[in-house]
A and B are shown apart, each in its own frame.
Chain A
């Protein structure tokens, strides 16, 4: 009996720990974003509250929690209140299958090792559309509705690319479990210095995952559902106070979760050189460092790229990302089955670089003829 009580206690400690760590990461991410974007635009950014302004987010959060909660008279009473919650819960749940370290003694550093681990993350991601769609619809106003329509089309399209990009990882690792995928990426470095991370063997899928991940979290340059210069605030135009805070929280939680999934699937998760001193701590530090690397990329892209037009967004998702992912899954399947003299990782890596170059060539400015086609009347979609 004491065993069970102890187990439950341990589980509770881990759940609360992960929750707290996620909240702190979100606070840091928001502050980092404001500071980094400010730096890139030669501004100062928030620097008043706490050292370097790091507590600014906390102050903003407290302010939002005490603001008046306004509900438009045209809103659907129940759904208007539920939407932010629907948005936030999957964002938290998705993190529960991510291994953020190896072990604390006999306890694994992961909340639950589902044998369908990353599939669970994808499922939670697919639930998030509801938060946005319901928020937009339930507000009973036109701009949020447009944001909702945009987001449902965008998220469904990029979900396919995101799912496909993980298929190659599942195939090479031979498992869906997050801990299994991390374990499959360990081992002696190739040629003495190249780690066996899937970012190398699955490079095209890494790009596809990153791009579709940015689109799934509705971040710039894919932030059409909340395009402030076109739709006021998009799906959360009518929200204020605590409900708006929940949307904001969910958006940044999603960034952290996508970064964590990318770390797990492509960068070896908590893998990295670890001295004997404090062996449980190093994997966690490695994991955090990789996650913040991805968060930095998210912020960097936001500060750099202008928003895509909607038809280009759809073109990019359906005509570039999905074919590339499909082709690469086929290549991986062939390489995994066929017997070759070259080591498989090297072969996959070489083909991957070639395909990645092909993918990048799509990002270059299109030719004049294509431009003329695109600006022709009747060629645009809503």
Chain B
């Protein structure tokens, strides 16, 4: 094993454990913090893949904004009793299991099908410029589609939240 593989192993173990603790933790705020660790280890994996731009964007967006918003929501809604266990019904558990298993199977099948045993060699660090070129030239349609989806979600949230 070379250094990169050792580092990946460490990150994978930390991220996996944190992911497990997100769903088993009995304290909502602790769960959100374990989510931070899991997302940060994904950022670490991006760094190992020589994609520093993606890695730091991951930190800014997911670690620095999304989980903070989750914490904000927790504190605003059930602040004094923030340590209570979330509603954990059988239905929710079954649904979570189905979704989780589905995503897992999908990723294993897709990644296995796409790459198999192929060994991908190290490439140099991705230039931010090249990333921008490919995002806004080759993948501009998916990019715009995702933007519209996010906008729709935003408007949906406002509609749900406004009562007047």
Q: Taking beta carbons and an 8 Å cutoff, which residues of A are in contact with B? A: 76, 79, 114-116, 119-120, 122-123, 125-127, 129-130, 133-134, 137, 142, 145, 148-149, 152-153, 155-156, 159, 163, 176
Complex CA distance for A108 and B127, rounded to whole angstroms: 22
Q: Which of B60, B63, B80 has the most CB of A within 10 A?
A: B60
Question: Which residues of A sit under 8 angstroms from B103, Cβ to Cβ?
Answer: none
Asked whether any CB of chain A lies closer than 8 Å to the CB of B143, the reply is no
Contact B52 A116 (CB under 8 A): yes
What does the 1/0 interface line of B45-80 toward A look like (CB < 8 Å)?
000000011001101100111001101100110011
A contact residues around B147 at 8 Å (CB): none
Complex CA gap A148/B65 in Å reads: 14
Q: B154 at interface (Cβ–Cβ under 8 A)?
A: no
Contacting pair B125 A126 (CB below 8 A): no
Partner of A115, one of B36, B76, B125: B125
Bound-state CA distance A104–B53 (Å) is 29
Q: Which of A115, A119, A153, A176 contacts B60 (CB 8 A)?
A: A119
Closest A-B pairs by Cβ, 5 of them:
A126-B64, A123-B59, A123-B56, A152-B72, A119-B56
| B128 interface residue per 8 A CB criterion | yes
Indicate whether B29 reaches chain A with its CB closer than 8 angstroms.
Answer: yes
Q: Is the interface of B mostly helix, strand, loop or mixed?
A: helix
B105 to chain A, nearest CB (A): 33
Question: A137's contact among B53, B65, B82, by CB below 8 Å, is which?
Answer: B82
Distance in Å from the Cβ of A142 to the closest Cβ of chain B?
8
How large, as a class, is the contact surface on chain B? Answer: 20 to 34
Contact partner, A130, options B36, B57, B75, B79, Cβ 8 Å: B36
Known: A123-B63, A126-B60, A148-B75. 18 other contacts (CB 8 A): A79-B29, A115-B125, A115-B128, A119-B53, A119-B56, A119-B60, A123-B59, A123-B64, A127-B59, A127-B63, A127-B64, A129-B68, A142-B80, A149-B76, A152-B68, A152-B69, A159-B60, A176-B53
